[in-house]
């Protein structure tokens, strides 16, 4: 039996990057982040977590005493470790990574096989968000699939893995711009675009000189409000907007903030909302 260590460490969320760097240097096989305050922390709210629990898989020869000591120096706590069977873990991973069907898309890593009527998306998430499994991504994908994107210029603000921008290109968009302020996400989005044979325009910030027919943004409500002027500005008059990453209790606040968008009734999946609307053709 080949064994590996599963290590769990809790730390203040602003120390996560340092801890991840240390675990990567120790040749971590995988690193998973969870909300350290509750058991049901949704990954989309990661930026709002106070405490993060990091679960890492490490080779069996790892010096765990050194890992625990460095974690303590970084102010982390709750160090736990156990040996697990590598083949069991690999099997679990394969099961959790089964191909996912969302609307016309079949999403997988490696490349899923798709029927002629379906669209295959090969998405490796790594440390970025956006496999299609989360309600917010799934609702955005379904919404995109119901639009005629032929000849349209699409923006995904907060692209994560690039899944929405890649999906837009597969649906016939003329161009898709993928923006994220996380460098890792941009690298992953670029790799995913290549794997799917599409070209994305990738950037770390929203440029106000660009204009789009259709904008998707699946970020936290606070960020959507912070960037409302820029998002409304880059959307052409008559253009379509889809906002997600919003809890039901936050949707009225968002609708009020985006004054130039005529919103349709909200779509709800579990606690998550998709808000879609049209930018009014006339500036007020
Ligand atoms: C919930 S993920 C969405 C990923 C993908 N679009 C999807 O729908 O699955 C939100 C992404 O927004 C990015 N993000 C958060 N704040 C941002 C900001 N101010 N500017 C650009 N990207 C941001 C995060 O790094 C993260 O990758």
With a threshold of 0.95, does the pTM exceed it?
A: no
CA of 65 to the centre of ligand 1 (A): 36
Choosing from 128, 163, 181 the residue with most ligand 1 atoms within 8 A of its CB, the one to mutate for a pocket test is 181
Domain spans in the chain, listed from the N-terminal domain onward: 3-95, 126-279
Tell me the per-residue pLDDT of 150-203, one tens digit each, with 9 for 90 and over: 999 999 999 999 999 999 999 999 999 999 999 989 999 999 999 999 999 999
Instruction: Classify domain 3-95 by CATH architecture.
Output: 2-Layer Sandwich (3.30)
CA of 179 to the centre of ligand 1 (A): 8
Choosing from 183, 219, 224 the residue with most ligand 1 atoms within 8 A of its CB, the one to mutate for a pocket test is 219
Tell me the per-residue pLDDT of 80-121, one tens digit each, with 9 for 90 and over: 999 888 766 665 555 555 789 999 999 999 899 889 999 999
What residues contact residue 240 under an 8 Å CB cut-off, 6+ apart?
147, 213, 214, 215, 276, 277, 278, 279
Binding site membership of 99 for ligand 1 (Cβ less than 6 Å): no
Average of per-residue pLDDT values in the chain: 89
List the CATH code of the domain at 126-279. Answer: 3.40.50.150
d(CA 114, CA 104): 10
d(CA 116, CA 200): 24
| 266 DSSP assignment | P
Binding site membership of 223 for ligand 1 (Cβ less than 6 Å): yes
Whole-number pLDDT of residue 89:
66
């Amino acid at each position: 039996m080949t064994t590996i260590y599963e290590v769990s460490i809790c730390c203040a969320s602003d120390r996560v990057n340092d801890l991840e760097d240390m675990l990567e240097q120790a040749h971590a096989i995988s690193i998973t982040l969870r909300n350290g305050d509750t058991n049901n922390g949704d990954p989309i709210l990661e930026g709002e977590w106070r405490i993060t629990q990091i679960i890492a898989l490490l080779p069996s020869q790892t010096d765990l005493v050194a890992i625990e000591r460095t974690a303590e120096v970084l102010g982390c706590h709750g160090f736990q470790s156990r040996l697990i069977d590598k083949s069991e873990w690999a099997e679990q991973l394969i099961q959790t990574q089964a191909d996912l069907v969302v609307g016309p898309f079949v999403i997988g890593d490696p490349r899923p096989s798709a029927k002629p009527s379906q669209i295959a998306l090969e998405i490796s998430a790594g440390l970025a968000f956006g496999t299609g499994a989360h309600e917010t991504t799934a609702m955005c994908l379904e919404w995109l699939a119901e639009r005629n994107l032929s000849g349209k210029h699409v923006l995904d603000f907060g692209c994560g893995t690039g899944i929405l921008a890649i999906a837009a290109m597969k649906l016939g968009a003329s161009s898709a711009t993928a923006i994220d302020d996380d460098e890792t996400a941009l690298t992953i989005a670029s790799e995913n675009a290549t794997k799917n044979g599409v070209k994305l325009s990738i950037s770390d910030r929203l440029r106000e000189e660009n204009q789009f027919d259709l904008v998707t943004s699946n970020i936290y409500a606070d960020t959507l409000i912070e960037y409302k002027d820029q998002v409304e500005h880059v959307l052409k008059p008559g253009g379509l907007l889809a906002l997600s990453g919003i809890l039901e209790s936050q949707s009225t606040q968002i609708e009020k903030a985006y004054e130039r968008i005529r919103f349709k009734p909200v779509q709800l999946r579990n606690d998550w909302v998709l808000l879609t609307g049209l930018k009014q053709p006339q500036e007020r």
